Structure 1
Amino acid sequence: MGTGQSERMHALDGVRGVAAVVVVLYHLTLMARPRLEETAGLWEWITQSPLRPLTAGSEAVLVFFVLSGLVVSIPALSATFDWLRYYPSRLIRLYLPVIGAVLFAVALILVVPRFPGAISPDSWLDNRVASSISLGRIVEESSLLPETYTVVNVLWSLRWEVMFSVLLPVFIVVGLAVRRRPWLAAVVSVALMVAGRVLEVDALVYLPTFFLGTLMAVHLPGIRAWADRVNRRGGWFIWGALAVASVVLLVLSWLTRDIAPAGSSASAALWGLAGAGAAGLIVVAIGSPLAERMLSARLPLWLGRVSFSLYLVHVPVLASIAFLIGDAAWWLVALIAFPASFAIAWLFHVAVETPAHRLARRAGNRVASRHDRVPTPIAS
């Protein structure tokens, strides 16, 4: 890997870190929503204004999906890519932290009392976060098979990560098949996302989002060549315009709530454009020198390193503190939960995620080496 590519991959780590922080802020606002709605216009001011990108958690997950489509597809495009090594390594890398996060959440549920009166009825915490557990639910969520999750609320997205990972050969084959018409493939992908939102078919929303990343991986040399041409012409305006346009697409369904109310087909269609916005932000991170410098700074890189762990542990931490203090004091919950989530994410990264990565590499290498030792039959 050359120097330029290494630097750009560091920038993508920074994107992942920033997106993880946005998800945390999103869940903090959901926790505080019952109280924020008591002040006229405050919830709308936070969610339907230029502040929205700071708390666009569902949209930040689409950024994760495009990133996965890109970085997982890049090595798979190599002629020497070892699929036997890939599958056990990838699945262990995903599943072990998931199981660790479920057990961590279960421990918090057992230790921290879940008194119903501590949180607002019919709120996000009340409806989407478990206050009790069962062995069946633990096994179900650890398997990543259900469509909805309450022990670790965010695991719904890992279900799609696993699905993409298993179907990676299909994504690679299709990406290579349409390589001569990348723009048409991108437009079709976005159209499928829009249709998926309108028809409420999640597979049409999320799988094409991953495919945008695969498409970018197939055309990465061309994207970099185009970025170099833009940069030689002093392309700060182009990068700035692309970044703004991408952010607007990402949150367009929120910014247009006055004319396309939530729940309407128009709002759903606009929400379907969020995946295109996510892809645009990745292109900016790949090509813009300013974005690369900012995203490769020490803090974004640290956030990127712990982003997966932060994503997995922050809701159980937030929920436990909210049940302990009560969401009426939402500001105090946020004041404690925000730094606590980062501290616990770092511990989880060291204690669970990093060992899982080492085990994943060893398992992949072992499977590959066993295959290499199998003698090839001699044809008679």
Structure 2
Amino acid sequence: MSKRIKELDSIRGLAAITVVIGHFCLMIPSLPNSIKFSPLRFLWAGGEAVIIFYVLSGFVLSMAIYHSKTNYWGYLIKRFVRIYIPYYVWIFITFALFILFSPYEVTGLRDWFYDKWQGPITNLDIINHLLLLNNFFTDNYNPVIWSLAQEMRISIVFPLLFLLFYKQSWKKTILFAMSFSFISIFLNILHIGKAEGFYNGYADTLHFTSMFMVGMLLFKHQEELVRLYRNMKKLKRRLLITLGIILYVYSTGILMISRSDTYFLLKDWGVVIGVSILIIMAMSNLKVKAILNKSVFVYLGEISYSIYLCHFPIMMVLFKLLYAKIPISLLFLLCVTTTILFSIVSYHFIEKKCIKWAKQRTIKFQKKV
């Protein structure tokens, strides 16, 4: 089994770009329904992209644990440094930009924009954002933070999940994963561990854990799944890909029926199935693999975490300074290009150094053979 699957890096990078586009669309006046509900939604499906991140995290962490030469403490140090240090840099940059630019006023945008960057930064805000793991209001300064809190919580316990479920049958693992989601629904209904911010609650952690478990299954059975996909007849493969796209893009349609937690969490499983199909296709289809293995897409995947961290504060500043002063298309181009440029700098001067430092410091935690 390969220790690196480049097409998965590329998928992560493309997903990060859809988050950027999604947040841009949440700021500008609402799109016409003919566009909003068209297949083009694939391009700005930010919530679905987070599910891609979680499934891929389950896959990649399973790969890391499977091939690991370090014990749990070495794993935890690497994970902590990988997530926290770049996050700390960007959250303090975000605080600084908030102080400098929040007084700037702009009109004509959607409520989602005006709900952000409100009020003074308090000591409690700083403590909560430094800890990250606790249940706090994450929406104000950088709304992507909720997913990082969930990522880190699950990362801490994931080696235990790997130990418990990796050798179990896929049916049993799926049963437990779905049980986690239903327990999460039940706890939310009872307001136990319910989120203060956007799905940052402890109860929601159980639900998102199920997505990591699906990623673990994809890693464990990747060879079988690739072989199964390639042995399918062309028509069946096309139908499967179509199903994956439909589930990924349109599972959110269930929100048209209800905004309740139950429906929100259930629709996520439709997205998870769609994501799984698309990941299998990306690893199996030689033409798709060739495209995703192009250096530009792989590099986009490498800088995807920095894209995720920095795009929102950059967009807030650009909107406050330039909205209605330049064409919206030019503002969009500026948001994307500025985000990518800062992400490149962040990746090379922060992320890569963190990864290198963590590898050097975890040698003493190597497992004894």
Distance change in 2, residues 1:310/1:292 (3 Å):
same
Alpha-carbon distance in 1 for matches of 2:8, 2:53: 10
> 5 Å matches for 1:291-330?
291-326=288-323, 330=328
Alpha-carbon distance in 1 for matches of 2:264, 2:54: 22
Partner of 2:159: 169
Partner of 1:337: 335
Partner of 1:375: none
Distance change in 2, residues 1:227/1:261 (3 Å):
same
Alpha-carbon distance in 1 for matches of 2:286, 2:69: 31
Alpha-carbon distance in 2 for matches of 1:272, 1:296: 28
2:20 is equivalent to residue 30 of structure 1: no
Aligned residues: 351
Alpha-carbon distance in 1 for matches of 2:280, 2:186: 26
Q: Give the counterpart letter for 2:22 in structure 1.
A: Y
> 5 Å matches for 1:145-184?
145-149=134-138, 150-178=140-168, 181-184=169-172
> 5 Å matches for 1:109-258?
109-115=98-104, 117-120=105-108, 123-130=111-118, 132-144=120-132, 145-149=134-138, 150-178=140-168, 181-186=169-174, 188-190=176-178, 192-193=180-181, 196=184, 200=188, 201-217=203-219, 219-220=220-221, 223-228=222-227, 230-231=229-230, 233=231, 236-255=234-253
8 Å contact kept, 1:321–1:333? yes
Alpha-carbon distance in 2 for matches of 1:268, 1:89: 30
8 Å contact kept, 2:39–2:249? no
CA deviations on 1:21-41 (whole Å, 9 max, x unpaired) are 111111011011xx236xxxx
Distance change in 2, residues 1:171/1:152 (3 Å):
same
SS state of the match for residue 118, structure 1? Answer: coil
Deviates more, 1:160-169 or 1:130-139: 130-139
Alpha-carbon distance in 2 for matches of 1:113, 1:129: 6
Alpha-carbon distance in 1 for matches of 2:276, 2:321: 39
8 Å contact kept, 1:193–1:275? no
Alpha-carbon distance in 2 for matches of 1:131, 1:326: 22
Distance change in 2, residues 1:154/1:184 (3 Å):
same
Alpha-carbon distance in 2 for matches of 1:269, 1:29: 25
> 5 Å matches for 1:95-110?
95-110=84-99
Q: Give the counterpart letter for 1:350 in structure 2.
A: H
8 Å contact kept, 1:194–1:271? no
Q: CA deviation at 1:267?
A: 6.2
CA deviations on 1:297-348 (whole Å, 9 max, x unpaired) are 1221121011000000000001111122347965453232121111111111
Q: Give the counterpart letter for 2:291 in structure 1.
A: M
User: What is the TM-score when the length of structure 2 is the normalising length?
Assistant: 0.84
4+ residue segments displaced more than 6 Å: none
2:17 is equivalent to residue 10 of structure 1: no
CA deviations on 1:236-260 (whole Å, 9 max, x unpaired) are 54443333222222233334566x3
Alpha-carbon distance in 1 for matches of 2:147, 2:261: 24
2:40 is equivalent to residue 51 of structure 1: yes
- Percent identical pairs in the alignment equals 22
Q: Give the counterpart letter for 2:40 in structure 1.
A: L
2:278 is equivalent to residue 274 of structure 1: no
Partner of 1:76: 65
Structure with larger Rg: 1
